[in-house]
Chains A and B, each alone.
Chain A
Amino acid sequence: MRRMIAVFLFLAAVPLAAQHDAGKEGKGRHPAMGNPRAIEAGRKLFVNSCAGCHGVSAEGGRGPNLRKRGVWHPLEDDAMYTIIRKGLPGADMPASNLTEEQAWQVAAFVRSLTSPAMEHPPAGNVQAGEAVFWGKGGCQNCHRILGRGGMLGPDLSNVGATRATEDIRESVADPDADGFPRYKGATVVMADGRSLKGVARNRTNYSLQLQDAQGNLHMIDLAKAKQVRFAEHSPMPGNYKQLLTKQEMDDLIAFLSRQSVRPFDAAEKK
């Protein structure tokens, strides 16, 4: 694999600096990759050095969106590092003034944007985050982890293995950001006058699969409904940025990022 990367980089005529290999330990990845402290440091550097073009949340702007795979071709760690340091000749991406260590920190952060959070866990106090989840945050009213918690929101038992850290952070800070498919709040008035309320797990013009707070499923034939109203916002409160301190938010994200049913070490990457 390393040989392939080397060949690829050679052919691509990217001026290869030998020094970036110096930081690697044997065959493994650069120690910054997947390191919580490096990722956090990289995030701060990113905001100062990269956000001008790539956006504060890496959502893209003058430069590409770095979070959505659909518009970003994934690079090997080495290639990403090189681009961060040297820029992309011929494109708008300039060389940076970052040190070798800093460039690896940014690479670690950018990699974490599209990898399962468990593989690139963010900094933060996991235990404190756990306390926020089950306490002040009130997350358990709607979310569950391994059978504990509420029924209305997505199960979070495996969220660290399936979503990237920044996606989790975005969902907490701005629940409306992803359009909350399958979790739209809905109120249905049936032809006989009964009223049902919950989240729409699915819907068409003909049927609606509504789940209430107790988890009961109501399979509604919409021919028998008088009125259906969908909430404009996610049922999740949108004020977590105000409700939680920055430290509490970081701790909560750190806790959620580590929710993985299978231990990361034991899971073979596909």
Chain B
Amino acid sequence: MTTRFLLMAGFATALAAQVKYEDILKGPGANWLTYSGDYHGKRHSPLTQITAANAGNMVAKWTYHVPKANGLRTNPLVHDGVMYVTNSNEVRALDARSGRLIWEYKDTRSKKEAVNRGAALLGDRVFFVTGDVHLVALDRRNGALLWQKQYGRVEDGLYGSMAPMVVKDKVLVGVSGGDSGMRGYVAAYQAVTGEEAWRLYTVPAKGEKGAESWGKYVEYGGAATWLSGTYDPELNTIYWTTGNPWPDFYGGDRQGDNLYSASLLAIDADTGKMKWYFQFTPHDTHDWDAQAWPVLVDLPVEGKARKLVLHANRNGFLYVLDRVTGEYLRATKLIDKLDWATGIDAKGRPIPVAGKDPTPNGNRVCPGVRGATNWMAPSFNAATGLFYVITLEQCDVFTSSAKEPEPKKNFSGGGASPKPTEVGQFFLRAFDPKTGKRVWEYAMTGPAEMWAGTVSTAGGVVFFGDDDGHLVAVDAKSGKHLWHYQMGEGITASPITYSVDGKQFVAIASATAIYAFGLFEPVQ
């Protein structure tokens, strides 16, 4: 019996290869191993079977309904023909060819249900976070539990929703909960043992440098870390964004810049020490978390090659920074409806328009609370030189409350919502990062409620979820419509692409299911 099993191990169809750090460094190919496919956040695949010329022939290949799912945020990962998807406190492995379930892991005793953005892979391990802030390591082959580490407490106003990020031998995690008063941090754990390697708080403790930029609620300052980061192996630097200061809409009790909220942090991958920070929205009062993907690209600036980070920020501007030093280089408008600032000054600080803070009776401000973009994944295609960003043209009426803040009680100091007569509109926009100029745009219809992002391919196609529940393919050069498929419900996740047995697939989560698409194959 044992002998026969041993004999089988050598067969070519055996999918035994581990996920090595070097595999992740190579970026996507047949596999899709990280949230963005690569470390740079480019979300661009070299696959070319599906092209702008044949994307119109795409058909649905399979659907997997995630039991009891609602508003799936998961970004699928694919390794050697197996897809890993998450839901609140759950992970599933699917046959990426057929959508058939291989195994599932459910943490039935988690204290909190929360959206989940996906898993991470390293070696024979699958990592994900639970709603109640545990990092879990599973065996990728059968979903068996290897270890579980609590890295934060629900009682402290925290919850877990992000996709962990693997860097070398460590797994990095962040925390959610910044709208109710908490203290954000990024933490790194040894992938093999679950031992904590380092932790970087995003709000200084009382007495530490930066604490003077807050008022009396510094210990509940927020600056949550609810989206994964990107990574430059050469610089050994992790780029991680932080959320809003708390209370979100009332700044009266927190005079100052509120460091390091609404910022991009450059973090040493080995020590967790902050190398530099760049704050997009000092003293934010519009809940404009900086949670959008920091995309690492190398492009010339004024004739000189530079290592850059692109950041399409919720506050309405598309930023270009030097990712070695954090130096501010340029900001241009992502959207047309932008009225809270006249621009960004030479040091990267917004030039605010007076009277745009939330007020007790409501104050109309553009962009709205969800921002000009948000965590919907952007993508960058080096061949077209274009940066593809989901943008939202919307204004909201922001209200504030000077009520004494109550941490951990869902108190955010006010709120924001659009006028019923002024519904927002989504656009997929292609920007030239060398100039910040808009090259083309694709206008969407719909209720302005989606959270879907993009994926770009060397086949010259950009795939994205639209605001009406379609997966859409457009020409990467022109934005011309190529194909669409109605998934029957709103989309709150971003697409990926992968290949198995020489066949390219595009996959995306709808609200309740995972869909995979590919080219039509006529009967031979």
Asked if A161 contacts B108 (CB within 8 A), the reply is yes
Binds A, one of B2-10, B212-220, B270-278, B486-494: B2-10
Asked whether, in the complex, the Cβ of B9 is within 8 Å of the Cβ of A155, the reply is no
Q: Is B98 an interface residue (CB 8 A)?
A: yes
Does B142 touch A at the CB level, under 8 Å?
yes
Contacts of B82 in A (CB 8 A): 217, 219
Q: Is B351 an interface residue (CB 8 A)?
A: no
Q: Are A219 and B144 in contact (CB under 8 A)?
A: no
A218 near B14 with CB under 8 A, answer: yes
Q: Tell me whether A99 is interfacial, beta carbon within 8 Å.
A: no
- Tell me, in angstroms, the Cα distance from A211 to B140 when the chains sit together: 12
Distance from B68 Cβ to chain A, minimum over Cβ atoms (Å): 14
**Any B CB within 8 A of the CB of A179:** no
Known: A209-B100, A216-B15, A217-B15. A147 touches B144 (CB 8 A): yes
**What residues of chain A lie closer than 8 Å to B11, measured between beta carbons?**
194, 196, 218
Query: In the complex, are the beta carbons of A158 and B145 less than 8 A apart?
Result: yes
Residues of B contacting A151 with CB < 8 Å?
Answer: 139, 141-142, 144
Q: Which residues of A contact B2 (CB under 8 A)?
A: 213
Q: Is A232 an interface residue (CB 8 A)?
A: no
- The 8 Å CB contact of A214, one of B9, B107, B145, B147, is B9
- A127 on interface, CB distance cutoff 8 Å: no
A260 to B82: give the CA distance in the assembly, Å. 28
A202 touches B111 (CB 8 A): no
Against B, the Cβ 8 Å flags (1 = close, 0 = not) of A151-187 are 1000101100110000000000000000000100000
A18 within 8 Å of B by Cβ?
no
| B contact residues around A135 at 8 Å (CB) | none
Q: With A197-B4, A197-B5, A217-B15 known to touch, is A261 a contact of B148 (CB < 8 Å)? A: yes
Kindly provide the distance from the CB of A97 to the nearest chain B CB, expressed in whole angstroms. 39
Q: Indicate which residue in A207, A216, A217 contacts B9 across the interface (CB closer than 8 Å).
A: A216
The interface residues of chain B lying within 8 Å CB-to-CB of A144 are 139, 144
By a CB distance below 8 angstroms, the chain B residues around A216 are: 8-9, 14-16, 141
Q: How big is chain B's contact interface, by range?
A: 20 to 34
Contacts of B6 in A (CB 8 A): 213-214
In contact, B101 and A211 (Cβ under 8 angstroms): no
Q: What mask results when residues 202 to 238 of chain B are scored 1 for a CB within 8 Å of chain A, else 0?
A: 0000000000000000000000000000000000000
List of A residues within 8 angstroms of B256 by Cβ: none
Closest Cβ neighbor of A208 among chain B residues: B100
Report Cα–Cα, A182/B11, bound state, in Å.
22
**In the assembly, what is the distance between CA of A144 and CA of B147, in Å?**
12
Q: Is the CB of B146 within 8 A of A147?
A: yes
Chain A contacts for B97, CB-based, 8 A? 207, 219, 221
Interface residues of B in 99-133 (CB under 8 A from A): 100-103, 107-109, 111
Are A207's CB and B5's CB within 8 A? no
Answer yes or no: B385 CB below 8 A from chain A CBs. no
Q: Which residue of A lies closest to B14 (CB)?
A: A216
Q: Which of A155, A212, A261, A267 contacts B5 (CB 8 A)?
A: A212
B152 at the interface (CB under 8 A from A): no
**Is A204 part of the contact surface with B, judged by Cβ < 8 Å?**
yes
| Contacts A201-B142, A214-B8, A219-B15 supplied; 19 other A-B pairs, CB < 8 Å | A146-B147, A147-B144, A147-B147, A151-B144, A157-B145, A201-B101, A201-B103, A204-B100, A209-B95, A211-B142, A213-B5, A214-B9, A216-B8, A217-B81, A218-B11, A219-B98, A220-B13, A262-B148, A267-B111
Residues in B lying within 8 Å of A, measured CB to CB = 2, 4-6, 8-9, 11, 13-16, 81-82, 95, 97-98, 100-103, 107-109, 111, 139, 141-148
10 nearest A-B residue pairs (beta carbon) = A155-B144, A213-B5, A215-B141, A157-B145, A216-B14, A147-B146, A207-B98, A267-B109, A202-B100, A144-B144
List 30 A-B residue pairs with CB atoms under 8 Å apart, sorted by A's residue number. A144-B139, A146-B145, A147-B144, A157-B145, A161-B109, A196-B13, A197-B5, A201-B101, A207-B97, A209-B95, A209-B102, A211-B141, A213-B2, A214-B6, A214-B14, A215-B16, A215-B139, A215-B141, A215-B142, A216-B8, A216-B14, A216-B16, A216-B141, A218-B14, A219-B13, A219-B95, A221-B97, A260-B109, A262-B109, A267-B111
